[in-house]
Structure 1
Amino acid sequence: MKTKIPELRKQRKLSQEELGMAVGVTRQTITSLEVGKYTASLVLAYKIARYFGLTIEEVFDFSEVEE
């Protein structure tokens, strides 16, 4: 799944470590989300979106998700 996390982090000058700490996950989890190797749980997606003041749909691209 594609995300806007890298762009959002760079805009706010956040490291992967800092974002991970802010939402309660490891740097490795943020890395995996950014490269599409991991899909966030609903709770994690909500925490990340809320951290950036956005909706989940504004952070995560669901266009390629199969129904």
Structure 2
Amino acid sequence: MKNKLKEIRKSLNMTGVELAKKVGVSHSLIYMIEGGYRNPSMKLAKKIAKTLGKSLDEIFFDDICHETLLKSNETA
């Protein structure tokens, strides 16, 4: 899953290790999520978003995905 986790985390001057400690997972899991190799559970995604002060959409949904969802809702 493409995401903006790394970009947002870095903009807050936070390391992957720091984020991992705050949400209670290993730093390797954070790096795997950032790289698109693993998808977080909904529970973990919510913890990450809350810790970073962002919405799930801001972190885990890209603009193209968001636009596609909006268009499909308009035609439904």
- Taking structure 1 as the reference length, the TM-score comes to 0.86
CA distance in 1 between counterparts of 2:16 and 2:54 reads 18
Q: In structure 1, what is the equivalent of residue 32 of structure 2?
A: 32
**Structure with larger Rg:** 2
Q: CA RMSD, aligned part only?
A: 1.2
- Where does structure 2 lack aligned partners over 5 or more consecutive residues? 66-76
Structure 1 or 2: more strand by fraction: 1
Structure 1 or 2: more helix by fraction: 2
- Taking structure 2 as the reference length, the TM-score comes to 0.76
> Sequence identity, in percent?
37
Where in structure 1 do 4 or more consecutive aligned residues deviate above 6 Å?
A: none
